[in-house]
Structure 1
Amino acid sequence: MSTETAIARPSVRGMPALVLVLLYVALTFGPAFAASLIGDANAPTYWSLLGRVSGIAALAMFLMQFVTSGRYETISGRIGLDRSMSFHRVAAYGAILMVAVHVTAFVLRGRAVWSFDRLWERFVAYLVDPAMLTGVVSIALALVLMPIAIFLRRGPLPYAWWRVLHGLLALAVGGFALHHSIDNARYFADPYGSTAIYALAFIAGLALGVVYLVRPFLAFRFGYRVTSVRDLSPSITELVLDAPGTSRFRFEAGQFVWMTVDGKHTITDNPFSIASAPAELPRLRFLIRKAGDMTRAVVGLKPGTRIGIDGPHGSFTLAEGGSGPLVLIAGGIGIAPVLSLLRHLVASGDTRLVRLLVTARTPADHVARAEIEAMAAGRDMKTLLLVKEDVGTGFEIGRCERKNVENILDGIDRSAATAFVCGSPRIMDTAVGHLLDLGLKPGHVVMERFDYDGAHDAISSALRRRLVALLTAVFIGVAALAWFVFSPENSGSGGHQDGETIVTDNNQRGSAGRGGGQGWGRPGNGEPHED
């Protein structure tokens, strides 16, 4: 079947998915649980205690966002950077929802009968309380951050500007929230919960330091420079990089890197799939469509220009495919990682059955046609090259339709086959739907996509359900912890019966303070009475 190449495979450094799930639950739910281990609840109502617990969890979830967005192989090495980034986006909704629980619970905290006027008065009182200022600002910035992250990611701002704005707003949200917690939250009176949050804040700060300070230096350590830039079609350019023979960069066929041009900060980097095989190392080849700021700039790169490389990333590799037949579907520039897989099969002597479907806008965009035909001549490989419009060059007109997918699946063992799909979101949604309908197993379909949180195919929908289930577990844990810690016999202690008074004078807040070691149940500096 296959032979070993002289190029060593990169080691898989990522943690298993189950370990990542347990870590996330521990780091988001854990600080609230730790804070409950000391002192008694002394909460007049369940809602009061739920407000405290959800506040801790919300802060922990926001701090974890800095870690899940940082392209760390420890997190994404096994599950894929696309999945970890999709979780980052879904978890952001969870953090906002946890903040909503935090605010709502405190508004409902009183023992008096609820009424809209009473609840509104209490809500406004929190908004105008000077002691709550940093908390209010943090929430307001988070509500600004969300639409910017969602709607401006692909324009109209340049990508680098969007990343800077996104990062600065996230830093402000986390910083104001942390200050609010230190200055107001009662749980900072105990050493367990506060230590857990300080540890998370340290990890978040470390993640920022790596992204903005360390990574710019590491990106150029492999010594890559531009060897050639040539147009393969009016819309596709091939970029070739070379490094000294001593370069330690390694990758698996199908992976991608984040690329930075000399003289620029890595905040401007962009992801590009490697089109070459590992056997060509240290040489790297890329196929780049002229579409965005970075891709258009590639055309003007001169030989000798230094290029920073961060990677490899991605799980679009043959390691996901076992030893059975391969079904490769590529749309447009999605041919790049698929071409890497094909070139690796040839270089390694892997003669397994291959079925290939490639769609492109024009015949000229089938830039690897001759090479693909040469590959197919010496192996059991059926190809179907489709174009939107034929201009007399012999290509078949069509898209990624069911009949075309069924065509390439004809005659193979679909229960043993693994499909690799890369292209536009629409092509991937369509292709995955056809593959599953035609008998491939969901676990045997590998995609390279970064929109799992918004994709419409069955596999992405299943992933979203698992991510939502994980976040739901955190919410259930928070609610259950508040209920478990709450002691009904303590509901008569302290406060006013109607629950309306908000004390804003720090001198009237009690003597425990943040270092008093009194746990949940004693007022700390700057926190309104939990009546």
Structure 2
Amino acid sequence: MIAGAAIANAACSLTLRPPNTVGHLRQIIAELFATTAVILFAAALVLATRARFLEPHFGGMDRMYVAHRRVGQAGFVLLAAHVATIPWTLGSPGGTPSGLIAFAGITLLVALAIGPLSYGTWRRSHRLIGVFFAISFAHTLLVDQASRTAAVPFAILIGAYVVGIAAFLYTVLVAPFGRPRFAYEVQTVHRLTPTTAEVILRPRKHRRLTFTAGQFVFVTFRQHGLREPHPFTISSAPAEQAIRLTIKASGDYTSRLRLTLRAGCRATVEGGYGMLDYRTGGPRQLWIAGGIGITPFLSWLRDMPDDNDRQITLFYTVRHVDEALYWEEVRAHAGTHPGVRVHLNVSSKSGTLTAGHVLEAAGQDCITDVYMCGPLPMLDSFSRDFRAAGLPSSSIHFERFSFR
């Protein structure tokens, strides 16, 4: 979809340029870099709205964020190429200051994004991309463009600006009130291990979150030092009144949350998001959980009907045995569902779990779908090995929890 818009823009820019610009090929190419960058930045701003109707087109909110990051990166590369190739002597000096401000601002934000910023600082600074995008619109209106007299390319450019700025304004002004948000309160904080905690949230009003087992939510805790939305997978079943989140201290924020979050703290829950759902898969499934990645599988097991007819093999891999959260409960679910088999792999004793191990145990020829959740290196490694073993990419499902 996004690539199609960029290709259509390039085709129009190169084939519909005015006759009097034939001698200015360098300027045409430089402007093509710029207009394509605008389209990509506009797409990134649309994806940042977290509009739920877009999820099916990308395969889930996590992949929307991956697309957001990639098109933003590509947009910046094209913007830099535009600055490097534009023949400044042909440009109108009236547009140059705004263009330089926009480029400098976006460059600074990109540099900050790859720097050692906390999630909260990055998130707040990242929003300024929309401001510099709007400033670049002023540059577009002020500078002399060779393509200005080409109606179709110029209309595409203006349309991209309108869509991008509208998406930015929606994200800043409307989305905080229009997204599916629910009022909750921290009922209990169970500190399960030195690095993990289970947070139980109860609804403060009659209206409570409805979600599909395996989905995740953005939660904002109304407590000093924790007032920024973070994504967490729900580990409880949809039928439960309370929401259970199992959170690992993997950064400054989550470490602080585990140590300081108190019962009675109010919370805003937004969601549910995500499209990881075993019920859309085939009859013989392989589930792989790495560490805290057991959470969506817990939600599935807690929600699984008694008449489940799927044959499911779950591998739960941890470094040390005391990190195997809820293992006894997982085994109990397997005991009540004859079609579910579970295996625990403790890598410090048994070695690293590999695709070969799980396919041998589950029976490669019978597997219809693979579902995974865990660290990104693990997901990438298993995906690569499963494809090499002959499993089609369409049968391999996982979520990438990387929102930066």
2:60 matched residue in structure 1: 80
Q: State the distance in 1 between where 2:401 and 2:144 align.
A: 37
Q: 1:443 aligns with which of 361, 371, 394?
A: 394
Q: Would the aligned equivalents of 2:134 and 2:165 in 1 still touch at CA under 8 Å?
A: no
Q: Would the aligned equivalents of 2:102 and 2:135 in 1 still touch at CA under 8 Å?
A: yes
Matches within 5 A, 1:426-437: 426-437=377-388
Larger radius of gyration: 1
Letter paired with 2:335: A
Q: Would the aligned equivalents of 2:43 and 2:71 in 1 still touch at CA under 8 Å?
A: no
Gaps of 5+ in 1: 1-20, 108-122, 391-396, 454-531
Q: State the distance in 2 between where 1:243 and 1:431 align.
A: 38
| SS of equivalent residue, structure 1 residue 275 | coil
Q: State the distance in 1 between where 2:279 and 2:219 align.
A: 24
1:59 matched residue in structure 2: 38
TM-score, normalised to structure 2, is 0.86
How far apart are residue 130 of structure 1 and its match? 6.3
Change (3 A) 1:230 1:450: closer
Report Cα offsets for 1:99-135 as digits up to 9, x if no partner.
Answer: 355345543xxxxxxxxxxxxxxx6x58995642222
Q: 1:272 aligns with which of 232, 235, 256?
A: 232
Report Cα offsets for 1:3-61 as digits up to 9, x if no partner.
Answer: xxxxxxxxxxxxxxxxxx1x663478459949987x94411423333333443332232
Q: Percent identity?
A: 25
Gaps of 5+ in 2: none
Q: State the distance in 2 between where 1:217 and 1:403 align.
A: 48
Q: State the distance in 1 between where 2:394 and 2:403 align.
A: 15
Q: State the distance in 1 between where 2:226 and 2:273 align.
A: 16
Change (3 A) 1:380 1:35: closer
Q: State the distance in 1 between where 2:356 and 2:11 align.
A: 54
Matches within 5 A, 1:252-267: 252-262=212-222
How far apart are residue 385 of structure 1 and its match? 0.7
Q: Would the aligned equivalents of 1:275 and 1:340 in 2 still touch at CA under 8 Å?
A: yes
How far apart are residue 193 of structure 1 and its match? 5.4
| SS of equivalent residue, structure 2 residue 198 | strand
Is 1:327 aligned to residue 327 of structure 2? no
Letter paired with 1:384: H
Q: State the distance in 2 between where 1:353 and 1:310 align.
A: 33
Change (3 A) 1:266 1:304: closer
Letter paired with 1:230: H
Is 1:425 aligned to residue 383 of structure 2? no
Is 1:43 aligned to residue 7 of structure 2? no
Change (3 A) 1:434 1:30: closer
2:361 matched residue in structure 1: 408
Larger relative CO (CA 8 A, sep 6+): 1 or 2? 1
1:358 matched residue in structure 2: 316
| SS of equivalent residue, structure 1 residue 252 | coil
Q: State the distance in 2 between where 1:248 and 1:24 align.
A: 39
2:193 matched residue in structure 1: 233
Report Cα offsets for 1:329-375 as digits up to 9, x if no partner.
Answer: 01111111121122222x46323111011111222211111111111
2:351 matched residue in structure 1: 398
How far apart are residue 189 of structure 1 and its match? 6.3
How far apart are residue 232 of structure 1 and its match? 1.9
Q: State the distance in 2 between where 1:196 and 1:402 align.
A: 47
Cα RMSD between the aligned structures?
3.4
Report Cα offsets for 1:262-316 as digits up to 9, x if no partner.
Answer: 2689982111011112222x42111101222332343333333221112111121
Q: Would the aligned equivalents of 1:126 and 1:132 in 2 still touch at CA under 8 Å?
A: no
TM-score, normalised to structure 1, is 0.67
Is 1:214 aligned to residue 174 of structure 2? yes
Matches within 5 A, 1:261-300: 261-262=221-222, 268-280=228-240, 282-299=241-258, 300=260
Q: Would the aligned equivalents of 2:92 and 2:143 in 1 still touch at CA under 8 Å?
A: no
Q: Which moved more, 1:440-449 or 1:430-439?
A: 430-439
Matches within 5 A, 1:6-17: none
Q: State the distance in 2 between where 1:223 and 1:137 align.
A: 41
Q: State the distance in 2 between where 1:210 and 1:128 align.
A: 32
Q: Would the aligned equivalents of 1:383 and 1:408 in 2 still touch at CA under 8 Å?
A: no
Q: Would the aligned equivalents of 2:93 and 2:143 in 1 still touch at CA under 8 Å?
A: no
